[in-house]
Amino acid sequence: MAEPRDVFIVCNNTDTMGGLQRWAHHMARLLSARGHSVTLVGVHHAPEPHDYGPDDAYRVVTLYEEWKSPVLKWRPRTMTARLDLAARRRDHRRTREMRKGADRLTALFAAARPGAVVIAAQIWAMEWVALADTTGLKVIGMSHESYGATRRSSRYGRVREHFAGVDRMLALTPEDADAWARDGMTNADHMPNPLHVSPGRFPTLGERVVVCVGRLSYEKGLDMMLEAWADVAPRHPGWRLRLYGGGPQEDELRERAERAGIAGSVEFRGVTADVEAALAGASIFALPSRDEGLPLSVLESMAYGLPSVAFDCAPGVRELITDGADGTLVPPGDTAAFAAALGRLMDDPAARRTMGARARESVLRFHPDLVLDRWERLFALLHRDPGAIPVQIGRRAQVDGEFPAPLPEGAATGPPARNEEILGVDS
């Protein structure tokens, strides 16, 4: 057992219904079980909190009841925008508000034992960590999506800005970490999501059901799923497509299914809490996403021994599914090939069984014990030599050996820690 540490996991919020929050609570539980003292920090509360059943093993802290200021820092692009006094005032208020939250973080961090670690799980939450005083702690930034997804979004600039200075920036897969490294982030490394389910029962693989689990939104590509289904379903009577999850595209998708004449074989099951029932009742798992990080849904389905068909849309998907062994990878957007891959598995129960068995075996790479070992190795690596204090030696250095006095790292950033009461501890 590695030495016990204080670990802070900082997220945008800890109580929204979502993959990241599930990951955060799971990680907190796993780390606590190994004797670490974990604090889960959310910047604000969710409007509709989801109960992750926090136990006494770790504490949950929320910085604000509600975040009322603008979400992002004000960055005027044009001269006229710069004259916008209202925006300037709002931004000023935002900075002031942020400072309050950062001060609370500073107080939390100051109370930590030596060897503590801060994990900023999201880039927005990182803005508070960056503002807080992290002297003596190591800061780890995380990107829970593929490099490509970040690159295409407005988050890219913020990731470059706020994660450049952290001690380690973790992507989900080696391929994503390499992409960040090529892009100049020399602190890039990778850390997979730990497997978070332990199946109680397994599918028979005899049910004529294809299952899809995920939000009904554009990125999840269910429109492409329905297109492929319209192609394959008529040739496979009796097979059903079950979609679990809700989202903005639901009405549009229902209409699309209706138009394609497949409404009879497509079931919209809505959001479910019982993933086991959903997966154990199916024979094939389909992932038609346009973009993914390291999809938890595939981890789950593999743990349940389902063969998968997925678009090869991101490194995380390639990392999980080995094409031809435990699933099929299809070129992104090629719905005909997606339908053909589904058809092959529908026709061949034996192939489903071999692939499913391989999936169950392969997913053990992400067993919590292995992933946690990796985390602890990383903590140890970052805290290799706690006594050393880095020294800045600049150009001003003189030949006669006069150097500026050593400065503790981060002394210039953040305010002096205030010894205030830690308020608002949820649990």
Partner 1 sequence: MPVRPDVSVVVIGYNDAARLPRAVGSVLDQSLGGVEAVVVDDASTDGTGELADALAAQHPHRVRSVRLPANSGGCGVPRNVGVEHARGRYVMFLDSDDSLDRHACLNLLAAGEESGADLVSGLCTRILLDPRRDRPSKERAWYPWLYARRAVYSGLEDNPNLLYDTLSTNKAYRREFLEDHGLRFVERLHYEDLLFSAEAYLAAERTALIPHRVYNWYVEPKAATAPSISNRRAELANFADRLEIHRRIDALFRLRGAYELKRAKDAKFVNHDLLLYLRDLRDRDTVYRAGFLELAAAYLAELEPRVFAEANPVPAIAAFLVRERDLNGALAAAEYGRGKRLELRTELREHDGRIFWGTRRADSALARRVLDVTGLGLHQRPLREMSLANTITELRLRGGRAGLEGLVLNPLERVPARAELAATLELNDRRRPTRVRRVPATVTHEGGRIRWRADFDPRERLRPYGLADPVWDVRLRLEVDGEEIVTRPGEGTGGGAAFDGVVLPVRPRLTRLAADGARSYVTDSGHLAFKLEGGGRLTRATMAAAQWAARTGAGRRAWAGVRRTERSVRRTLTSRKTKIAVFNRVLSRLPVRHGSAVFESHLGKQYSDNPKYIYRELRRSGPPVKAIWSYESSARGFPKDATLVRRGSWGYFLALARAEFWIDNQGFPDGIRKRPETTYLQTWHGSALKTMGFDQPALKSGTRGQRQRLRRMVDRYDCFLVRSDHDLDTLVPGLGVRSELLPAGYPRNDPLVSGGRGDPELAAELAALRERLDLTGDPRRVVLYAPTFRSGPDGRPVRALEPPVDPARFARELGDDLLLLVRPHYLCTVQLPPGVRGTMRNVGNVPDVTLLLLLADGLVTDHSSIMFDYALLDRPMVFHLPDEVELGRGYFDLAEHAPGPITRTEDELLAELSVLAAGGDPGAGRRHAFAGRFGEHDRGDAARTVVDRVFRGARTARRTSRETSRKRSPRGRAS
- Spatial distance between the Cα atoms of 225 and 325, rounded to a whole number of angstroms: 22
Those residues whose C-beta lies under 8 Å from the C-beta of residue 14, and which sit 6 or more positions away, are: 21, 24, 25, 40, 41, 42, 52, 60, 62
Task: Determine phi and psi for 190, rounding to 5 degrees.
Answer: -135, 155
Q: Report, in Å, the least distance between residue 170 CB and partner 1.
A: 12
Q: Report, in Å, the least distance between residue 88 CB and partner 1.
A: 24
Instruction: Rank residues 152 and 235 by Cβ distance to partner 1 and give the closer one.
Output: 152
Residue (of 297, 313, 10, 328) closest to 147 by Cα position: 313
Q: Tell me the three state secondary structure of residue 91.
A: helix
- Residue 244 corresponds to which tokens in the numbers above? 């679990």
Instruction: Rank residues 61 and 119 by Cβ distance to partner 1 and give the closer one.
Output: 119
Q: Report, in Å, the least distance between residue 101 CB and partner 1.
A: 27
Q: Report, in Å, the least distance between residue 154 CB and partner 1.
A: 12
- Spatial distance between the Cα atoms of 260 and 262, rounded to a whole number of angstroms: 6
- Residue 122 corresponds to which tokens in the numbers above? 């999201």
* Residue 378, CA distances (Å) to 8, 29, 383 in order: 15, 18, 9
- Spatial distance between the Cα atoms of 388 and 372, rounded to a whole number of angstroms: 27
DSSP track, 150-176: HHHSTHHHHHHHHHTTSSEEEESSHHH
Instruction: Rank residues 373 and 420 by Cβ distance to partner 1 and give the closer one.
Output: 373
Q: Report, in Å, the least distance between residue 79 CB and partner 1.
A: 13
Q: Report, in Å, the least distance between residue 77 CB and partner 1.
A: 13
- Residue 169 corresponds to which tokens in the numbers above? 């920036």
Q: Report, in Å, the least distance between residue 91 CB and partner 1.
A: 25
Instruction: Rank residues 314 and 355 by Cβ distance to partner 1 and give the closer one.
Output: 314
- Spatial distance between the Cα atoms of 279 and 256, rounded to a whole number of angstroms: 25
Question: Which residues of this protein are in contact with partner 1, per CB under 8 A?
Answer: 152, 167, 174-175, 177-178, 181-182, 184, 186-189, 218, 221, 224, 227, 290, 311, 313, 331-336, 381-388, 390-395, 397, 399-401, 403
Instruction: Rank residues 203 and 327 by Cβ distance to partner 1 and give the closer one.
Output: 327
Instruction: Rank residues 218 and 268 by Cβ distance to partner 1 and give the closer one.
Output: 218
Instruction: Rank residues 271 and 391 by Cβ distance to partner 1 and give the closer one.
Output: 391
- Spatial distance between the Cα atoms of 43 and 350, rounded to a whole number of angstroms: 49
Q: Report, in Å, the least distance between residue 385 CB and partner 1.
A: 3
Q: Which alpha helices (DSSP H) does 164-295 contain, by range?
A: 174-182, 222-232, 250-260, 275-280
DSSP state of 106: H
Instruction: Rank residues 137 and 177 by Cβ distance to partner 1 and give the closer one.
Output: 177
